[in-house]
Homo-oligomer: A and B are copies of this chain.
Amino acid sequence: MDFDNTARTELSELGEFGLIKHLTQHIKLNHPSTIKGVGDDAAVLSFKDEQTVVTTDMLVEGVHFDLTYVPLKHLGYKSIMVNLSDVYAMNATPTQVLVSFAISSRFSLEAIEELYAGMLLACNKMEVDLVGGDTTSNVSGLVISITAIGKAKADEIVYRNGAKETNLLCVSGDLGGAYMGLQILEREKAVFKENPNIQPDLSGKDYILERQLKPEARKDIIDLFKELKIQPTSMIDVSDGLSSEILHLTTLSDVGVDLYEEKIPIDQETYDTAREFNLDPSLCALNGGEDYELLFTVDMSDYEKIKNKNAISIIGHITNKSKGLNMIAKDGTVHPIKAQGWNALKK
């Protein structure tokens, strides 16, 4: 797809410094921890007695996103949210991001402005300062690299390796929606390729399309933990799929797990769409990925605090390592949990 540009400004007209100046001119810095943002050799931050959390992600056109159906503004928004999700998964508060991209000459200034606008929208929404980055040309396509920085008190940080026997296994929101949204987009792309005159049929798919195109990092869950005085024993965000993340948590924590299929939260729209595609909704939730929900474990004594929270589902419990990793299916049969999540190197 080409971009619908009434105006098209070539990036080479601005040069690297011109482009950076143009894109960053309206950035406002809000965090007290941001001492110096864009414009020097490095950004300068100050966290005092809190610890610093830092994570980075790379997104590649043709591997992680397809610009035939992902608007650039959504892509920018999502690329920030995906990184902030990793900071929340440490039970930390994101404070700054650095944003780099490599772009081919196929992209105009107006296209990059869209991408950047999406990034800034996500930053503003999550109250994060954009403090640096790098911009360069690429031989072909678009590559985005984001580094997110956050802070937390040392005793608040939650690692992946702290799950203990009898802990409850919980997940926020619902799963499989982002994957089903992707199926819809891929189907309509195929239809469009066959006949460009047919309008895409996206009716009744708002929720799952938003799950795919505009995911929200779960700041609200971290806030809820603070409100309820819950310190999860382990946590990870669901980027590759529930089964893959369960594998990470249990392996690093050296424990087993019993997961109950009937407890896995699946939205009705996700469920119906999976059926439409002749897919098992539970498998979509287990292996779909990109939901950016938080998977975590809490002590049994926290049960009363979370049992009636709509945003949280208790989906299983941690067992002794010798018991292995099991999913108890709706019919009562027991299945081993295997990772079948997204593998960014397979493509």
Contact = CB atoms under 8 A, between A and B. Distances in A.
A239 B41 CA distance: 10
Of A61, A138, A148, A346, chain B has the most CB atoms within 10 Å of the CB of A138
Interface stretch (A50-58, A186-194, A197-205): A50-58
A54 B132 contact: yes
A134 B100 CA distance: 14
Nearest to A46: B51
Contacts of A41: 55, 86-87, 89-90, 160, 235-237
B98 A63 contact: no
Given A136-B63, A136-B345, A343-B16, A143 B102 contact: yes
Interface in A127-176: 131-141, 143, 145, 147-150, 154, 157, 159-161
Contacts of A145: 56, 58, 100, 134, 143, 145
B139 A62 contact: yes
Nearest to A18: B345
A223 to B, nearest CB: 18
A45 interface: yes
Interface residues of A, number: 74
A336 interface: no
Given A45-B51, A98-B56, A101-B58, A346 B63 contact: no
A70 interface: no
A12 B344 CA distance: 9
Interface in A45-82: 45-49, 51-64
Interface of A: 11-12, 14-16, 19, 35-36, 39-49, 51-64, 86-87, 89-90, 92, 96, 98, 100-102, 131-141, 143, 145, 147-150, 154, 157, 159-161, 235-237, 252, 343-347
Contacts of A45: 51-54
A158 to B, nearest CB: 9
B345 A12 contact: yes
A39 B63 CA distance: 23
Contacts of A90: 40-42, 44
Contact of A44 (B14, B52, B138, B237): B52
A347 B134 CA distance: 16
B15 A343 contact: yes
Contacts of A55: 41-43, 98, 132
Contact of A137 (B11, B52, B60, B147): B60
A344 B136 contact: yes
Contacts of A57: 100, 134
